[in-house]
Amino acid sequence: MARLIVTGAAGFIGSNLVEALNARGEHDVIAVDDLKQPDKFRNIADLAIADYLDHRAFRERLRQGDDFGGPVAAVLHQGACADTTESDGRFMMDNNYEFSKEVLHWCVHRGVPLVYASSASVYGNEIDCAEGPDHERPINVYAYSKLQFDRYVRRLAPTLRSTVVGLRYFNVYGPRERYKGKMASMVWQLSEQLKNEGICRLFEGTDGYANGEQRRDFVFVADVAAVNLFFAFGGVQTGIFNCGTGRSRSFNDVAKTIIEKLGRGRIEYVPFPDSLRGKYQSFTEAKIDRLRGAGYEAPMTTLEEGVRSLLAGGLA
């Protein structure tokens, strides 16, 4: 059985991908990450991998043309700086853009399927989140780094002969995101607030939305893993696809769902911070026609089902 490479393997989505691979009997996995934040090791401590590589060593071996003990069945590239408040553009572009180009060219040269993490942040404040240049309006350097790699892939698309698929993740939530702290999903953060304090804090109205009525497309991480594996192990496909439920839900919906599942708690509205004005997505909703058109037919987990699953697992 050929091995697989997962970058960002100790991260939130990466570790859920390794878990999904293990569930289908895939244990020959090279896990690539940076454990500068040591608590991330907990995300892969219970998972079966064949080897672990620091991302710097991995990049060097890519540049040298290493075959990593091949053959490699697929690369699932999740490694990136996902902090939308990061202000070091040089670091962001090297970590998210240049690194991704190195992975891409290694895969294309060998005909190895590549599925990589893009982001719905590329849409900025656009209401119509469809995969196309007319709707791409990044509002921070993180989003720009993701969009620039998507553009690079688009330019190469006519020459590609193996799978290269970018997935624009919407608001992913689920187990194994505790380490993310302030960058964890709002579903996770509100669950923690309600469990620990009995109160969840939502922003007052902004951008024309009432208190707590800002809306996002919340997608359960198990669905994200399933979409990754669909492209990694399916026939040759190229392109960029939204990865969400196709249905936005308000932050009030999230809070009320958690309160109902816990059987306690209340909502408190707090002023919208000036520091986020003009930099905040008040509405996201994935257009998933292209994903369905590519053959992915599985239903997406509802918010209610996802919250139930998350709380049952103890917010690991």
Query: Where in the sequence numbering do the catalytic residues fall?
Result: 142, 180
Residue 101 token pair:
């180009």
From 115, 102, 99, 82, select the one nearest 4 (Cα to Cα). 115
Contact 108, 164 (CB under 8 A): yes
Q: Which of 172, 219, 217, 250 is nearest to 13 (CA)?
A: 172
* 95, two tokens: 């970590």
Bridge partners for 108 per DSSP:
none
- CA pair distance 189, 177, nearest whole angstrom: 10
Place of tokens 């991998």: 49
* CA–CA separation, 103 and 185 (whole Å): 27
CA distances (Å), origin 143, targets 1, 80, 197, 283? 36, 11, 33, 16
